[in-house]
Amino acid sequence: MQITVHGTPTQLQGKELIIGGEAPAARITKLDGTKNVIGMIAPTVQLLIAIPSLKTEVCSLGAKRFDELLRPYKKLTATMITTDDLESVKAFTEREGIEAAQVVVDADRNFAKKYGLLITEGKLKDRLARAVYVIDRDGIITYKELVPEVVDEVDYDACIAAVDKLVNEKKTGHTHENWMSV
């Protein structure tokens, strides 16, 4: 798999995930230094937002834009993942008031490798490619966007439409009424 970085073709490490496939569990580091797992089956719909570096203009603007767009969604677990150092991520989230998503660090590059997003060469080596994944409660990827050029932004409208559809979907179970009326 490959993307471009300022027009230069750049390889990504890891397995390419597909819509309809299972979202792998990945270890990340929360801002308090504890480890957690994201992906897989969860009690709520998940939105995973891979951000190369909050120290750049495109990434910081994207994080702030997602924070605004996600505020209405109370039944969503949104996670922004970056490979920046813990201290700079803490400072960014405090300074910008990021509240609608949890911002975490992929310190061990576990998420990057499991989601096929680890940049393996060039000036962004060991960073994440820019991508978003929407995962249903059963741990299935229902929407994915891997941005082909790392300096471009994601399609916010398409991503939020995928989140909205899944969060507002009514789960239907089986009913006993039909067999009882025979």
Tell me, yes or no, if 59 is annotated catalytic.
yes
Distance of CA 108 to the CA centre of its chain: 16
Of 116, 103, 118, nearest to 38 by C-alpha is: 103
Give burial (CB, 10 Å; 0-12/13-18/19+) of 159: buried
Q: Which alpha helices (DSSP H) does the chain contain, by range? A: 57-70, 86-96, 110-114, 156-167, 177-180
With tokens 């966007």, the residue in question is 145
Pairing of strands 141-146, 131-135: antiparallel
Which of the following is catalytic: 12, 23, 50, 59? 59
Q: State how far the Cα of 67 lies from the Cα of 54, in Å rounded to an integer.
A: 13
Residues acting as catalytic residues: 59
